[in-house]
Amino acid sequence: MASRLGRVAGVTIGDVAAAARVSRSTVSRAFTRPQLLSPATVEHVLTTAARLGYVGNQAARALSTGRFGNIAVVVPDIANPFFPPLVRSLQLAAESADLAVFLGDSDESAEREAKLIARLAPQVEGFVLASPRLSEQLIRELAATRPVVLVNRDLDGIARVLIDSSGGMTEAVLLLKKLGHQRLAYLAGPRDSWSDGQRRTTLARVSEQAGLTVEVIETGRPSYAAGRDSVAAIVRSGATAAIAFDDVVSQGVLAGLEVRGISVPADFSLVGCDDTLAALTSPALTTVSAGAASAGAAAAKLLISLLETPDSGRTAAGGSAGPAPGHGGDVGGAGGACVRIGTHLVVRGTTAVARAGVVT
Amino acid sequence: MASRLGRVAGVTIGDVAAAARVSRSTVSRAFTRPQLLSPATVEHVLTTAARLGYVGNQAARALSTGRFGNIAVVVPDIANPFFPPLVRSLQLAAESADLAVFLGDSDESAEREAKLIARLAPQVEGFVLASPRLSEQLIRELAATRPVVLVNRDLDGIARVLIDSSGGMTEAVLLLKKLGHQRLAYLAGPRDSWSDGQRRTTLARVSEQAGLTVEVIETGRPSYAAGRDSVAAIVRSGATAAIAFDDVVSQGVLAGLEVRGISVPADFSLVGCDDTLAALTSPALTTVSAGAASAGAAAAKLLISLLETPDSGRTAAGGSAGPAPGHGGDVGGAGGACVRIGTHLVVRGTTAVARAGVVT
DNA sequence: GTGGGGTGTGCAATCGGTTGCAGGGTGGGG
DNA sequence: CCCCACCCTGCAACCGATTGCACACCCCAC
């Protein structure tokens, strides 16, 4: 008859103890260290507890153990389609480790992000910061306090999951070259985004090697409107193909091009990033894949392992001077582990042979 | 020098008290009821606390006050683009009321939903259940315990926010009729979804009044694949236009139609729902708007007001029999408030005049 | 000068679980 | 037959903050 939804009113460990005619300690132990009790007692207590609909009070438990059973994930914008799959797989993984997850949306603001973290910190055991806009110093400060896993931010000594888009980016440039494009445009993302930095760098390097020129067009917050509004700049640049920071921006570009009567891919080629919306639209977008879901799962796994290692989380060597021993950012076992997720190009319908002089 | 990110180590109220040479009670009151203390004392305590980097321990506070400062939002699938804007505005609103929000993803399963709720219940003050798949009984059971706000689920006596798509749906049918379509298909959503029920009903009623026939095509979980795979059934039905449960399904349909060489809107008209992806694609989707963001904000507002009303939340009249006094489901002030959010049709590029016999 | 009222602060109990330590009970070995 | 050991359970302190109650103090009026 017990409620399947947890506490009905306020069944405490004391109530269970009274009903089972044992002490409160015994009830507590029946849950936390059953091996200390006789099987019969455990059985009896658990049955009684179930009958009464007892559910432990997390706050009280946290007070004595210092463990909350909660983690937090902070994202710059949950409405950006890159994050929901990430959050989703993170949450599912956390659930199976019996962790509850707080969600924080920083609205792309470093300041809000700091406030959120401060608000959440006293009741979570660890953080997953996805594409954090926070300063390196503040992140390190936080990481010195409790386990932190970064997603798409590369800070030496702090556990992180990086979606390495250089692979897919390189393929994209090579494909465009093969299709005869000479002049590319890159629709950039937020300057404080690690992903954007990586894409910019890769693009510059690979294009140079391939003998192509690439024009960088700044757009503020990555959005549909930003993409649409930058079409003028694209046209001005004389590019015959563009690579966009993400799929949302790409969609905006697509719309902007259509308005101008420039057809894709006949007149212009477009490559997105993240594979979030790409498959959903027509023409389907050629894009650089980016397993956001696997990144979420990896981040959860990483954080959970940090939580299990007793005194982990604390940044490897506090302020120990000396340039970091340069053995790259590889999996170091615990504190500074780094998981890289590879990407590749998914060719769909927005890329085709360059048509000389069309957009000039 | 204090950290801007919250607790550094474990500064307790006792530490502050010692440093400020007052009692722990005084420190506590300096934060919670400063008017009871002399201004000088308050000032002194706050300064000391700041210097030490003191941050109250939520768990301890919750234990004595019974208030956690947390709420939970549970959704069936955060990766479904309808929910992120909702969650986002909810979180932003909660933040300004200094509430932290837990996110639960039930993965479209009633069972998982119940487990999540049970897990979260002991540490939240209230719930927002968006499109819950849970049985009515369990929801009522929960609502008897603590404040609950439903989104897109209509349970008398429980606070709820309903996105009323009948307005937009009606407009859609009338538009299609005006364009000369006679035979419509409806790509249905999950059977236990209130939204789907409402759309089905409205569609049936309005179509009948307008003298159109509508074929209902069941699709399981609303997804791109479901939409794509149901194109065969659409063609078989002889419909010249379709209305889909949501935009994701619509995109699938769009893709499926393209594969078959049926062009939209020339050969076939399509209307989506929710306006989540609609603007992002080309051709831009004609769709029924649905302010998910305003729903999130409304839900937050409702829940916050319930939390402020001392003994609210508890279902109005427990099991008092008798059919509900039929004054409709209007705003009743507290417990059973009902906010309806209107919808309208947004005409974009996927609807056009019917071309007789094309799809037959 | 002393009693009364008001204000500001401290004491101690409390919230619900956890856990070190001690004690009661039983069984086995000497 | 007794003693010891071990296993199980209970006692009580503790986690950190809140809060009812009481008291000390000050000022003013009688």
Please, which pLDDT band fits residue A114 given cuts at 50, 70 and 90?
very high
CA distance B332 to B317: 13
Q: Cα B315 vs. chain centroid, distance in angstroms? A: 20
User: Tokens standing for B311?
Assistant: 């003994």
**In a 3-state reduction of DSSP, which class is residue A85?**
helix
In this structure, what DSSP letter does residue B123 have?
A: G
Chain B residue numbers with beta carbons less than 8 Å from the beta carbon of A77 are: 88
What distance in Å separates residue A271's CA from the closest CA in chain B?
A: 15
Out of A6, A63, A254, the one facing B282 most closely (by C-beta) is A254
What pLDDT score was predicted for residue B330?
38
CA distance A46 to B328: 45
HSE value, Cβ hemisphere, 13 Å, CA-based, for A48: 24
A118-135: buried (b, 16+ CB within 10 Å) or exposed (e) per residue? bbbbbbbbbbbbbbbbbe
Lowest-pLDDT choice from A30-44, A340-354, B57-71, B314-328: B314-328
Please, which pLDDT band fits residue A321 given cuts at 50, 70 and 90?
very low
Where residue B174 falls (left for φ over 0; alpha for ψ -120 to 50; beta otherwise) is alpha
**DSSP structure string for B335-355:** TT-EEEEE--EE--SS-----
Instruction: Render each residue's pLDDT in chain B as its tens digit; 360 residues.
Output: 334 444 345 788 998 998 999 999 999 999 988 888 888 889 999 999 988 888 888 888 888 888 888 999 999 999 999 999 999 999 999 998 889 999 999 998 999 999 899 888 888 889 999 999 999 999 998 898 889 999 999 999 999 999 999 999 999 999 999 999 999 999 999 988 999 999 999 999 999 999 999 999 999 888 889 999 999 999 999 999 999 999 999 989 998 998 899 999 999 999 999 998 877 766 789 999 988 999 999 999 999 999 887 554 444 433 333 333 333 333 444 568 999 999 999 999 999 999 864 444
- Chain D nucleotides close to protein (CB under 7 A) are 7-12, 14-20
What pLDDT score was predicted for residue B307?
87
- Give the best residue of B71, B247, B282 to mutate against chain A (max A CB count within 10 A): B282
Out of B3, B57, B119, the one facing A122 most closely (by C-beta) is B57
**In a 3-state reduction of DSSP, which class is residue B132?**
coil
What pLDDT score was predicted for residue A279?
72
What pLDDT score was predicted for residue B324?
34
With beta carbons less than 8 A apart as the criterion, state whether B183 and B153 touch: no
In this structure, what DSSP letter does residue A68 have?
A: -
What distance in Å separates residue B83's CA from the closest CA in chain A?
A: 8
Sheet holding A213-217, edge to edge: A213-217, A183-187, A241-244, A269-274, A286-289, A345-346
The greatest distance separating any two alpha carbons of chain B, rounded to the nearest whole angstrom, comes to: 89
Helices (H), strands (E): how many in chain A? 13, 12
The greatest distance separating any two alpha carbons of chain A, rounded to the nearest whole angstrom, comes to: 89
Interface contact B103-A117, CB threshold 8 A: no
A8 touches strand D (CB under 7 A): no
H or E stretch covering A360: none
Render pLDDT for A188-240 as a digit per residue (tens, 0 to 9): 999 889 999 999 999 999 999 999 999 999 998 888 899 999 999 999 999 99
Is A250 or B68 the better-scoring residue by pLDDT? A250
Look-up of token digits 């649409």: A228
Nearest nucleotide to the CA of B26, by C1', is C9
Please tell me the pTM assigned to this model.
Answer: 0.84
Amino acid at A42: V
Average pLDDT value for residue range A38-48: 91
Nearest nucleotide to the CA of A59, by C1', is C16
Assess whether the previous peptide bond of B265 is cis (omega < 30° from 0). Answer: yes
What pLDDT score was predicted for residue A334?
54
In this structure, what DSSP letter does residue A285 have?
A: P
Where residue B322 falls (left for φ over 0; alpha for ψ -120 to 50; beta otherwise) is left
User: Tokens standing for A172?
Assistant: 């994209």
User: Tokens standing for A40?
Assistant: 């019969």
Cβ contacts of A110 within 8 Å, gap of 6 or more: A133, A134, A135, A192
CA distance A188 to A267: 22
Count interface pairs A-B at CB distance under 8 A. Answer: 182
Q: Is the pLDDT of residue A65 over 90?
A: no
Nearest chain A alpha carbon to B249:
A280
Out of A3, A98, A224, the one facing B141 most closely (by C-beta) is A3
Look-up of token digits 């309806």: B340
What distance in Å separates residue A301's CA from the closest CA in chain B?
A: 18
What pLDDT score was predicted for residue B67?
84
Interface contact B122-A6, CB threshold 8 A: yes
CA-based R_g, chain B, Å:
26
* φ and ψ at residue A36, rounded to 5 degrees: -85, -10
Whole-number Cα distances in Å, B348 to A127, A232, B78, B271: 42, 23, 26, 9
Average pLDDT value for residue range A75-101: 94
What distance in Å separates residue B17's CA from the closest CA in chain A?
A: 20
B209 touches strand D (CB under 7 A): no
- Chain C nucleotides close to protein (CB under 7 A) are 7-12, 14-20
Is A46 or A278 the better-scoring residue by pLDDT? A46
Residues with CB under 7 A from strand C: A 10-14, 24-25, 28-29, 31-33, 54, 56-57, 60-61, 63-65; B 21-26, 29, 36-38, 40-41, 60, 63-64
CA distance A228 to A258: 10
Lowest-pLDDT choice from A112-126, A270-284, B100-114, B163-177: A270-284
Average pLDDT value for residue range A298-310: 88
HSE value, Cβ hemisphere, 13 Å, CA-based, for B241: 33
C1' of C17 to CA of B168 (Å): 53
- Give the best residue of A31, A277, A280, A315 to mutate against chain B (max B CB count within 10 A): A280
What pLDDT score was predicted for residue B334?
54
Report strand pairing: B126-130 vs B148-151.
parallel
Nearest nucleotide to the CA of A61, by C1', is C17
Q: Is the pLDDT of residue A29 over 70?
A: yes
Interface contact B122-A280, CB threshold 8 A: no
B10 touches strand D (CB under 7 A): yes
Cβ contacts of A353 within 8 Å, gap of 6 or more: A179, A180
Q: Is the pLDDT of residue A317 over 50?
A: no
CA distance B302 to B211: 40
CA distance B85 to B297: 10
Whole-number Cα distances in Å, B346 to A252, B131, B172, B290, B353: 18, 23, 9, 10, 16
Sheet holding B148-151, edge to edge: A338-342, A160-164, A148-151, A126-130, A70-75, A100-105, B100-105, B70-75, B126-130, B148-151, B160-164, B338-342
Chain A residue numbers with beta carbons less than 8 Å from the beta carbon of B141 are: 3-5
What pLDDT score was predicted for residue B2?
37
Look-up of token digits 């507290």: B334
With beta carbons less than 8 A apart as the criterion, state whether A54 and A15 touch: yes
Nearest chain A alpha carbon to B255:
A282
Interface contact B145-A9, CB threshold 8 A: yes
By percentage, how much of chain A surpasses pLDDT 90?
Answer: 65
What pLDDT score was predicted for residue B249?
93
Nearest nucleotide to the CA of A12, by C1', is C16
What pLDDT score was predicted for residue A11?
84
Nearest nucleotide to the CA of A17, by C1', is D10
What pLDDT score was predicted for residue B85?
96
H or E stretch covering A70: strand A70-75
Q: Give, rounded to a whole angstrom, the gap between the first and last alpha carbons of chain B.
A: 76
**In a 3-state reduction of DSSP, which class is residue A289?**
strand
A120 touches strand D (CB under 7 A): no
C1' of D4 to CA of A38 (Å): 22
Please, which pLDDT band fits residue A355 given cuts at 50, 70 and 90?
confident
Among A260, A265, A286, A264, residue whose Cα is nearest residue A275: A286
With beta carbons less than 8 A apart as the criterion, state whether A234 and A260 touch: no
* φ and ψ at residue B88, rounded to 5 degrees: -60, -50
What pLDDT score was predicted for residue A237?
95
C1' of C24 to CA of B10 (Å): 40
What pLDDT score was predicted for residue A329?
37
Average pLDDT value for residue range A176-181: 96
CA distance A181 to A174: 10
